[in-house]
Amino acid sequence: MKHQKTINKTRWRRTNRVRKNIRGTADRPRLSVHRTNKHIYCQLIDDDLGKTLCSASTRDSDLAAKIGNGGNCDAAKLIGEAMAAKVVAAGVKTVKFDRGPYKFHGRIAELAKAVRDGGVEF
């Protein structure tokens, strides 16, 4: 139990360190990522208005058929491509990437690379 408390404390510290400098605006919204063992979720957030502009996840019905298992790098890449298309359609060119408590490695890095390849700047 003590080990899990240490892990959670480390996650919260990392989250606060990452998010203290990131605030989404109308010109440059925040691209927030959440991952679990089975799925990955991504949202474009305008913090000034408190609104989500668009989102994509492995649980979306149109993407779930293509993905199958949502807990791998291939799924993260497909979600990144879908999110890039939605961001460009929303008329946004640059975003602030919010990785939350997750290290920029593996699925998070694949999603970010796919979004960048889709024409969105970080």
Tell me the longest C-alpha to C-alpha distance in the chain. 47
* Average pLDDT for the chain: 92
Does residue 62 carry a pLDDT above 90? no
Section 16-45 average pLDDT: 89
Which SS3 state, helix, strand or coil, does residue 24 take? coil
Which domains are delineated in the chain? 2-117 (3.30.420.100)
Cβ atoms of 85 and 79 within 8 Å: the answer is no
Q: What is the pLDDT of residue 79?
A: 96
Residue with tokens 């149109």: 62
Q: What is the pLDDT of residue 90?
A: 93
Q: Residue 36 and residue 106: Cα distance in Å, rounded?
A: 13
- pLDDT-derived band at 86 (thresholds 50, 70, 90) equals very high
Q: What is the pLDDT of residue 24?
A: 80
